[in-house]
Amino acid sequence: MKNVAVLVSGGGTNLQAILESERCGGNPHGRVTLVVASKPGVYALERAANFGVETAVVERKGYAAQAEYDAALLALLRAHSIDVIVLAGFLTVLGPDFTAAYPRAILNVHPSLIPSFCGKGYYGLKVHEEALKRGVKVTGATVHFVTEECDGGPIILQKAVEVLPDDTPETLQKRVMVEAEWQLLPKALAMVCAGEV
């Protein structure tokens, strides 16, 4: 059984999808044992508590250097015997020391079909604004392994989502979450925990 940590920065909708899938038997080889937020008071911490999952907060601004932050986060994860990490809307950049410590064991979900609309600065509504600006007819979500390169790790799963003529960034974001992110992330996590990837 793999111990999973989910790193969050906001509302935790992807965390909710993972926890609900786990509760329904969707990840028989892993379980979320820790949720770590990048700032206090985010709703994701409440979601974790509702499922009886231990939580912690590690704020980037509490550390002068990236390496110090990474070391503190790694120490917390190691103290909890974490095997797999999921970045679920985690907006704090992780350094090379961190990613090197968990090769092919850190997952991220990105709200586009990588390599489109990804990399530095592409997160949240910005991704969907750019997709609409470019006039793409199909977008989607990608779950990939995290490496030193932003959004550049090996792809695990992708799912396409249609862009509708009257979409706004907000309606497109919601459809991508419901039709792709919330389905792909629990599935990819289960695959990694089972050793299928």
Residues 101-152 have pLDDT tens digits of 999 999 999 999 999 998 888 888 999 999 999 999 999 999 999 998 888 8
Domain 2-193, CATH number (from 3.30.565.10, 3.40.190.10, 3.40.50.170, 3.40.50.2300): 3.40.50.170
Quick one: pLDDT at residue 56? Answer: 98
Following DSSP, what letter does each residue of the chain receive, concatenated? -EEEEEEESS--HHHHHHHHHHHTTS-TTEEEEEEEESSTT-HHHHHHHHTT-EEEE--GGG-SSHHHHHHHHHHHHHHTT--EEEESS--SPP-HHHHHHSTT-EEEEESS-TTTT-STT--THHHHHHHHHHT-SEEEEEEEE--SSTT-SPEEEEEEEEPPTT--HHHHHHHHIIIIIHHHHHHHHHHHHTT--
Query: Rounded to two decimals, what is the model's pTM?
Result: 0.94
User: What pLDDT is recorded for position 119?
Assistant: 85
pLDDT at 41: 95
Q: Does 80 have pLDDT greater than 90?
A: yes
In the predicted model, what is the mean pLDDT of the chain? 95
Cite the active site residues. 110
Q: In the predicted model, what is the mean pLDDT of residues 42-63? A: 96
Q: Is the pLDDT of residue 1 over 90?
A: yes
